[in-house]
Amino acid sequence: MFFRNGARTMTNLNNIGFMQGRLSPASKGKIQFFPQKYWESEFFLANRMGLKNMEWTLDYKNLYKNPIFKSKGVKKIKYLSRKYLINITTLTGDCFMQKPFWKFKKSKKYLKDFKNIVKACNNLKIRFIVFPLVDNSSIKNTRDEKKIINEFSKLRGFLKKNNVTLLFESDFPPLKLKEFIKKFDQKRFGINYDSGNSASLNYNCNDEFKAYGKYIKNIHIKDRIKNGKTIKLGMGNAKFKKLFKNIKNINYKNLLILQTARTKKKNGDYNELEYNFNFIKKYLN
Domain positions in the chain are: 4-284
173 vs 169, 208, 259, CA distance in Å?
12, 8, 21
Of 3.20.20.150, 1.10.645.10, 3.30.2350.10, 3.40.50.2300, the CATH number of 4-284 is: 3.20.20.150
Question: Of 118, 173, 170, which is closest to residue 144 (Cα–Cα)?
Answer: 170
pLDDT given for residue 1 in this prediction? 34
pLDDT given for residue 111 in this prediction? 97
CB 193 within 8 A of CB 217: no
pLDDT given for residue 26 in this prediction? 85
16 CB-near residues (< 8 Å, 6+ apart): 51, 52, 53, 255, 256, 257, 258, 277, 280, 281, 284
CB 169 within 8 A of CB 180: no
pLDDT given for residue 6 in this prediction? 40
Helix/strand/coil for 285:
coil
pTM score > 0.75 for this model?
Answer: yes
How does pLDDT run along the chain (285 residues), one tens digit per residue? 333 334 444 557 889 999 999 999 987 778 899 999 999 999 999 999 999 999 999 999 999 999 999 999 999 999 999 999 999 999 999 999 999 999 998 899 999 999 999 999 999 999 999 999 999 999 999 999 999 999 999 999 999 999 999 999 999 999 999 999 999 999 999 999 999 999 999 999 999 999 999 999 999 999 999 999 999 999 999 999 999 999 999 999 999 999 999 998 888 999 999 999 999 999 987
The 10 Å Cβ neighbour count of residue 173 is: 13
Q: What does the CA dihedral 14, 201, 211, 238 come to, rounded to 10 degrees?
A: 40
pLDDT given for residue 13 in this prediction? 86
Question: Of 130, 164, 158, which is closest to residue 255 (Cα–Cα)?
Answer: 130
